[in-house]
């Protein structure tokens, strides 16, 4: 399992997914602006400059704690998804795990952003008001998402079907 986790391919794919996830979450705060910028008839330099500047917003428009949770969630989502796909490639099925990884990652996306000023992605769904009923204005949802992702990762590692590789050969030989 350690070999799989530390393999260059798994690391690369996991980090790529993590980066995509983080960029997506940062841009979601300015969803309409990003959409208009990408699809609008603007000069390429404008598109590049604005999208780069908005990406810099992850340092200025989020608390350090929110940013930490976002990066952690991104990395966990990356590893979870990579392992899930690897696992599904040797084991057909496992729908429950798929839902758990997907669900907890979406939960984290939804709760990311600046909860302090009412700007988590919940606002996109018209649910920003819900955060006023939470003691930490929505940051707890990110924490729950991280816990769920850690649990999923743990169960995935513990039950990883490493011997399935051998079964592949056996199945192959039976042909």
Q: Which of 73, 80, 104, 105 binds another protein (CB under 8 A)?
A: 105
Q: Which stretch binds another protein (CB under 8 A): 13-21, 67-75, 140-148, 150-158?
A: 13-21
Q: How many residues bind another protein (CB under 8 A)?
A: 55
Residues 123-142 that bind another protein (CB under 8 A): 123-132, 137
Measured from the CB atom, is 50 or 157 closer to another protein?
Answer: 50
Residue 33, interface with another protein (CB under 8 A)? yes
- Binding mask 54-93 toward another protein (x if CB under 8 A, else -) reads x-xx-xxx-x-----------------xx--xx--x----
Residue 114, interface with another protein (CB under 8 A)? yes
Q: Is 7 left (phi over 0), alpha (psi -120 to 50) or beta?
A: beta
- Quick one: CA dihedral 142, 2, 163, 158, positive or negative? negative
Task: Report the interface residues with another protein, using CB under 8 A.
Answer: 9, 13, 17, 20-21, 24, 28-33, 35-36, 42, 46, 49-50, 52-54, 56-57, 59-61, 63, 81-82, 85-86, 89, 102, 105-106, 109, 113-114, 116-119, 121, 123-132, 137, 172
């Amino acid at each position: 399992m350690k070999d799989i986790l530390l393999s260059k391919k798994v690391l690369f794919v996991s980090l790529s997914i993590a980066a995509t996830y983080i960029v997506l979450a940062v841009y979601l705060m300015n969803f309409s602006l990003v959409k208009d910028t990408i699809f609008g008839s603007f000069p390429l330099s404008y598109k590049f400059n604005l999208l780069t500047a908005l990406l810099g917003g992850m340092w200025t428009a989020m608390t350090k704690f929110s940013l930490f949770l976002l990066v952690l969630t991104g990395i966990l989502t990356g590893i979870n998804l990579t392992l899930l796909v690897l696992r599904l490639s040797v084991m057909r099925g496992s729908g429950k795990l798929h839902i758990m990884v997907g669900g907890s990652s979406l939960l984290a996306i939804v709760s990311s952003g600046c909860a302090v000023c009412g700007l988590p992605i919940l606002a996109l769904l018209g649910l920003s008001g819900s955060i006023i009923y939470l003691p930490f204005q929505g940051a707890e949802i990110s924490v729950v998402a991280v816990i769920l992702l850690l649990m999923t990762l743990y169960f995935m590692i513990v039950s990883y079907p490493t011997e399935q590789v051998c079964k592949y050969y056996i199945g192959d030989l039976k042909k």
